[in-house]
């Protein structure tokens, strides 16, 4: 539910927010103190303000690539490959402010993948997208990132069907705590559905 702590969890894992207690680790590295984490993760959000609106999509990507010390040739190769994969080649040279919501989200995914990290933190990947755009994003995450490229993907979502479609393992958070977690296979074998489980752990519990 809203305010459960999902986005805060991703900020803690990425090192954007520092924990007041405890520690978060990515592949054995403490995200609060180990700079290595930056190269291990790609953070994908629908936060439009994190882009430069006057710059083109391409120039935005080139800027963020410099933060990962990618060479110009590496950057150009990655941009070409990922833009083709996400079908945004036609808008790369347009200012970001002219992008549709769906195109902004796709550019955000390209930015998160630009340095080819093994772990992706994705915050509400289909927020504000129409059904067709949502389907394309979900399909891309499942088929291209998880299955084909073997990425570890941790995503937050308000949509039960999105979790069922993409995830191998799900966790339900409420009031800052994980109330339930299991694999989708185990949930299906139990005869329960995720809607029922979600309602039980978020309504008065």
- Average pLDDT along the chain, 205 residues, taken 10 residues at a time: 87 94 96 95 88 97 97 98 96 97 95 97 92 93 96 95 95 94 95 92 77
Closest among 110, 7, 13 to 64, alpha carbons compared: 110
Say what the pLDDT of residue 205 is.
Answer: 56
Instruction: Confirm if 119 and 151 have CB atoms less than 8 A apart.
Output: yes
Say what the pLDDT of residue 3 is.
Answer: 82
Say what the pLDDT of residue 142 is.
Answer: 96
Q: Is 103 exposed, middle or buried (0-12, 13-18, 19+ CB in 10 A)?
A: buried
Q: Which CATH code fits 6-167?
A: 3.40.50.300
- The domain ranges of the chain are 6-167
Instruction: Confirm if 157 and 184 have CB atoms less than 8 A apart.
Output: no
Cα 39 from Cα 42, distance rounded (Å):
8
Say what the pLDDT of residue 93 is.
Answer: 98
Say what the pLDDT of residue 2 is.
Answer: 80
């Amino acid at each position: 539910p809203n305010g459960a702590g999902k986005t805060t969890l991703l900020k803690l894992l990425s090192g954007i927010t520092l924990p007041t207690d405890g520690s978060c680790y990515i592949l054995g590295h403490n995200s609060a103190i180990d700079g290595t984490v930056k190269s291990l993760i790609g953070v994908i959000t629908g936060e439009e303000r994190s882009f430069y609106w006057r710059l083109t999509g391409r120039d935005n990507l080139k800027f963020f690539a410099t933060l990962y010390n990618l060479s110009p040739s590496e950057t150009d190769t990655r941009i070409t490959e990922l833009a083709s994969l996400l079908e945004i080649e036609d808008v790369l040279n347009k200012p970001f402010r002219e992008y549709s919501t769906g195109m902004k989200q796709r550019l955000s995914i390209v930015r998160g993948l630009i340095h080819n990290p093994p772990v992706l933190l994705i915050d509400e990947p289909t927020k504000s997208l129409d059904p067709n755009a949502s389907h394309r994003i979900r399909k891309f995450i499942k088929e291209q990132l998880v299955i084909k490229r073997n990425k570890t993907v941790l995503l937050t979502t308000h949509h039960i069907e999105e979790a069922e479609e993409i995830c191998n393992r799900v966790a339900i958070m409420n009031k800052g705590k994980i109330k339930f977690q299991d694999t989708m296979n185990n949930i299906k074998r139990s005869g329960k559905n995720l809607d029922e489980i979600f309602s039980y752990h978020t309504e008065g519990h």
